[in-house]
Amino acid sequence: MADYLRINRDNWNARVPVHVASSFYDVAGFRSGRSPLRAFEIEEVGEVTGRSLVHLQCHFGLDTLSWARLGAEVTGLDLSDAAIDQAERIAAECGIPARFVTADVYDAPEALGATYDIVYTGIGALVWLPDLARWAETVARLLKPGGFLYVADFHPFTEVLDDETGTKVTNDYFDRGPHVWDYPHTYTGPEVLEHQTSVEFRHGMGEIVTAVANAGLRLEFLHEHDHTLFRRFGTFTERDGGYRPPAGAPRIPLMFSLRATASPAGSGVPGG
**Residue 266 DSSP class:** T
DSSP lists the bridge partners of residue 198 as 181
Q: How far apart are CA 23 and CA 219, in angstroms?
A: 36
Q: What global pTM score does this model have?
A: 0.93
pLDDT at 19: 95
Q: How would you write 192-250 as a 3-class SS string?
A: CCCCCEEEECCCCHHHHHHHHHHCCCEEEEEEEECCECCCCCCCCEEECCEEECCCCCC
Q: Which of 54, 60, 53 is nearest to 79 (CA)?
A: 60
pLDDT tens for each residue of 115-131:
999 999 999 999 999 99
pLDDT tens for each residue of 144-202:
999 999 999 999 999 999 988 888 999 999 999 999 999 898 888 888 888 999 999 99
pLDDT at 272: 39
pLDDT at 192: 82
Q: How far apart are CA 152 and CA 222, in angstroms?
A: 10
State which residues of the chain have pLDDT below 70: 1, 266-272
pLDDT at 1: 67
pLDDT at 137: 98
